[in-house]
C-alpha cells in the first residue's frame, strides 16, 4: 500500500512511477526549465485568444460587437445586443476555454506549475488577442474558468462573489473585480492548507492585477456615477429635427435665391 501511495504521489507531481525522489526532482526540473512550459503557454494563448463573443454575434446576425455598447467582446456587452442566449453562450465558452487549457496541460504534463502557466496564458490570450490587434475582453469569465480548474474551491467561491457583487450592486464590473481579488486571496490562503504549487498563487494575483487594469474605464465611470447597470434601458433617442422642404432649408423655401418681404428675389 505504501508503494502504491508513493507511485500515486509521483504521478500527481509529474513523475514516472518507480522513480526515486532525486530522479523525480531532476525530471521536474528538466521539464519546467525545458521547452514544455513555453509550448503549453503558446498553445494556451492561441486558444484563449478565440473571441467567442465576436464570432457568435456575427454568426447569428447581431452585428459587430466592437461597434456595440462598450465595444468589449465579452458576455456583458453581448447582453447589450438583447440576445440573452448568445450572452450565456459567450460566458460559458469564455470560461470553458480557460478551464480547458488548465485541464489539458495538467493531463499531458502532470505538472501543476505548467498547468498554472497555461491557465494564465489562456487568460492573457483573451485580454490581448493577436488577431484583434491585442484589444480583447476584460477576462472575468476566463479568470473564473481558470480558477475553477486550478483549485475548484477557489473557483466556486470566486463565482459566488461575482454573482453576489453583480446582483447586489447591479454593476457587472464590480462583481468581476471583486471575484478576481477574492480568487487571488483564496489561492494565497490555500497554500497553507492545500498542496498547491506556488505558481498558482502568482498566476491568481497576476490575473487579478490585469483584470483591474482592464477595468480602468469602468472604475472611472463608477466614480463619476455614469457606469451602466445590469439590465439598464438604453437612453432615449435624440429628438428628430423639424421637417424641412429641402436639404436643411426652412419650410416653404424651394432652394432658390432669398426673397424679400414682398416675395420678390433679392
Sign of CA dihedral 57, 49, 196, 108: positive
Show me where the domains of the chain are located. Answer: 34-224
Q: 254 pLDDT band (50/70/90 cuts)?
A: low
Residues 26-39: what's their mean pLDDT? 72
Judged by DSSP in three states, 212 sits in helix
**Better-predicted residue by pLDDT, 26 or 12:** 26
Reported as a single tens digit per residue, the pLDDT across 63-118 is 888 888 888 899 988 988 889 999 999 999 999 999 999 999 999 999 999 999 99
- In this prediction, residue 69 carries a pLDDT of 81
**Better-predicted residue by pLDDT, 226 or 17:** 226
Q: 12 pLDDT band (50/70/90 cuts)?
A: very low
CA gap 172, 2 in Å, rounded: 50
Provide the 8-state DSSP code for 259. Answer: B
CA gap 19, 190 in Å, rounded: 28
Judged by DSSP in three states, 10 sits in helix
Backbone φ, ψ for residue 188 (5° rounding): -70, -45
* pTM score above 0.85: no
Give the chain's mean pLDDT.
83
Residues 6+ apart with CB under 8 A from 192: none
Sign of CA dihedral 216, 162, 151, 181: positive
- In this prediction, residue 23 carries a pLDDT of 60
Q: Which of 21-30, 149-158, 234-243 has the lowest mean pLDDT?
A: 234-243
Residues 6+ apart with CB under 8 A from 43: 101, 118
Q: Look up residue 157 and give its three cell numbers.
A: 467561491
Q: 266 pLDDT band (50/70/90 cuts)?
A: low
By C-alpha distance, which of 145, 131, 226 is closest to 183? 145
Residue entry with cell 513555453? 38
Amino acid at each position: 500500500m505504501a508503494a502504491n501511495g508513493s507511485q500515486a504521489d509521483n504521478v500527481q507531481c509529474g513523475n514516472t512511477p518507480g522513480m526515486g525522489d532525486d530522479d523525480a526532482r531532476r525530471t521536474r526540473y528538466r521539464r519546467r526549465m525545458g521547452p514544455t512550459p513555453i509550448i503549453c503557454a503558446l498553445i494556451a494563448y492561441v486558444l484563449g485568444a478565440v473571441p467567442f463573443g465576436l464570432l457568435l454575434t456575427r454568426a447569428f446576425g447581431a452585428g459587430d460587437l466592437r461597434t456595440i455598447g462598450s465595444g468589449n467582446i465579452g458576455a456583458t456587452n453581448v447582453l447589450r445586443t438583447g440576445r440573452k442566449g448568445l450572452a450565456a453562450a459567450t460566458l460559458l465558452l469564455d470560461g470553458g476555454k480557460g478551464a480547458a487549457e488548465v485541464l489539458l496541460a495538467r493531463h499531458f504534463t502532470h505538472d501543476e506549475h505548467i498547468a498554472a502557466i497555461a491557465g494564465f496564458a489562456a487568460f492573457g490570450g483573451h485580454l490581448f488577442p493577436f488577431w484583434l490587434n491585442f484589444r480583447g475582453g476584460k477576462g472575468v469569465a476566463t479568470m473564473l474558468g481558470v480558477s475553477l480548474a486550478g483549485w475548484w474551491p477557489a473557483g466556486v467561491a470566486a463565482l459566488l462573489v461575482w454573482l453576489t457583487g453583480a446582483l447586489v450592486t447591479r454593476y457587472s464590473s464590480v462583481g468581476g473585480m471583486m471575484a478576481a481579488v477574492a480568487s487571488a486571496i483564496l489561492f494565497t490562503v490555500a497554500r497553507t492548507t492545500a498542496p498547491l504549487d506556488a505558481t498558482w498563487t502568482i498566476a491568481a494575483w497576476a490575473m487579478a492585477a490585469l483584470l483591474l487594469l482592464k477595468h480602468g474605464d469602468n472604475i472611472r465611470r463608477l466614480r463619476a456615477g455614469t457606469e451602466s447597470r445590469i439590465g439598464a434601458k438604453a437612453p432615449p433617442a435624440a429628438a428628430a429635427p423639424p421637417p424641412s422642404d429641402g436639404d436643411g432649408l426652412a419650410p416653404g423655401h424651394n432652394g432658390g435665391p432669398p426673397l424679400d418681404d414682398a416675395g420678390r428675389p433679392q
